[in-house]
Amino acid sequence: MSEPTEKYKVVIVVIFLAASASLIYYSHAVLETGVLFTHLFYIPIIYATMWWKRKGLVVPIFLAVILNLSHIYIRKDIITYNDQIRSLMFIVIGFMVAELSDKVSKGEKELRKSHEKLKHNAVELATINEELVAFNYSVSHDLRSPLRSIDGFSQALLEDYTDKLDAQGKDYLTRVRVASQKMAQLIDDLLNLSRMTRTEMQREVIDLSALAQGIASEFQNREPERHVEFVIAEGMEVNGDKRLLMVVLENLLGNAWKFTGKHPEARIECGVTQVNGKPAYFVRDDGAGFDMTYADKLFGSFQRLHGTTEFPGTGIGLATVKRIVHRHGGLVWAKGEVEHGATFYFTL
């Protein structure tokens, strides 16, 4: 309900005040009663104290005063305390309404303040997001460009000056090329990571088992010579973003596939267990595992627990997994032991 304007408020209160005052006179002087119909009085009292708070107490005090004056001057023959008690009630009720109204408007003010702050934060966030987009753009464009030059001209040297370069010179140039291509991969991974955070989520019911099965067969088709047994629990259904959860499974199963690569036979398990009464999905392998001492480093960007010569990678996969799981409001953690495999858990 919108508030009436100040002028309108004064008019309302004055009309009811006049009506109340007339009623006092009418009861005392014309009807000559000692009992007053004072219910109407509460209308100006409550309005005035609601609108003007303690200043509005002027109205109940005024009504109390004229009621008592009228009583004394017109009906001093009736000795009751009726009117005195009534007039006291005017002030008490007026005071209570004023206090209440004060509290409400203070709360309102605070609410408006925090709303403003929220709005301000939203604007700031939007700006930061815009900057992030611009940053990504420049990363994908500007950082790749010099890399192309490094790789291209290294190859040009290898081709055009091959007779002037000895084996070591060629080896150095080859290393330059490998490094620039690796950096290009890092840039791409980093961009993908930020894209995972930027894109809007579309939640739906997803058959996690089918997703995992699909990814597993893809790995097996790619390297059919490997002996890896996939054990994937049936009927795992979750509510989440299909594309993002696909990335989670691809990374976790991909890691399991990668880190069992040095074992002649391996077993990769994907299933669900209960942790603190909530379903926690897991991917378990019996591969290289990791030292639990470094468990907190697993999910950081560009953090790796194995040398790239041992197992290739950029160290961005688990950071991506963590971001996606967090966006779903879940948690991710890992358990492992060197040479005894690793288990990655996540909740959604």
Partner 1 sequence: MQTGEKNGKIILLVEDNPDDVELTLRALKKNNILNKVVVANDGVEALDYLFGTGAYEGRNTSVIPQVLLLDLKLPKVNGLEVLQQIRNYGPTKLLPVVVLTSSMEEHDLIASYQLGANSYIRKPVDFSKFIEAVKQLGLYWLVLNEPPVIESAI
- Which residue ranges make up the site for partner 1 (CB under 8 A)? 136-137, 140-142, 144-149, 151-156, 177, 180-181, 183-184, 191
Q: Is 235 left (phi over 0), alpha (psi -120 to 50) or beta?
A: left
Beta carbon of residue 263, minimum distance to partner 1 (angstroms, whole number):
32
Which three-class secondary structure state does DSSP give residue 1? coil
Q: Between 12 and 191, whose beta carbon lies closer to partner 1? A: 191
Q: Between 184 and 210, whose beta carbon lies closer to partner 1? A: 184
Where do the H-state alpha helices sit in the chain?
A: 6-25, 42-52, 58-74, 82-138, 144-160, 167-198, 208-222, 242-259, 317-327
Tokens of 149: 């030059």
Beta carbon of residue 258, minimum distance to partner 1 (angstroms, whole number):
22
Q: Between 91 and 184, whose beta carbon lies closer to partner 1? A: 184
Q: Between 43 and 165, whose beta carbon lies closer to partner 1? A: 165
Beta carbon of residue 240, minimum distance to partner 1 (angstroms, whole number):
22
- How many whole angstroms separate alpha carbon 338 and alpha carbon 289? 5
Beta carbon of residue 110, minimum distance to partner 1 (angstroms, whole number):
41
Beta carbon of residue 135, minimum distance to partner 1 (angstroms, whole number):
12
Beta carbon of residue 323, minimum distance to partner 1 (angstroms, whole number):
19
Q: Between 155 and 301, whose beta carbon lies closer to partner 1? A: 155
DSSP class per residue in 62-121: HHHHHHHHHHHHH-TTS--SHHHHHHHHHHHHHHHHHHHHHHHHHHHHHHHHHHHHHHHH
Q: Between 82 and 140, whose beta carbon lies closer to partner 1? A: 140
Distances (CA, A) of 227 to 64, 81, 153, 231: 96, 101, 42, 13
What values do phi and psi take at 172, rounded to 5? -60, -45
- How many whole angstroms separate alpha carbon 207 and alpha carbon 204? 10
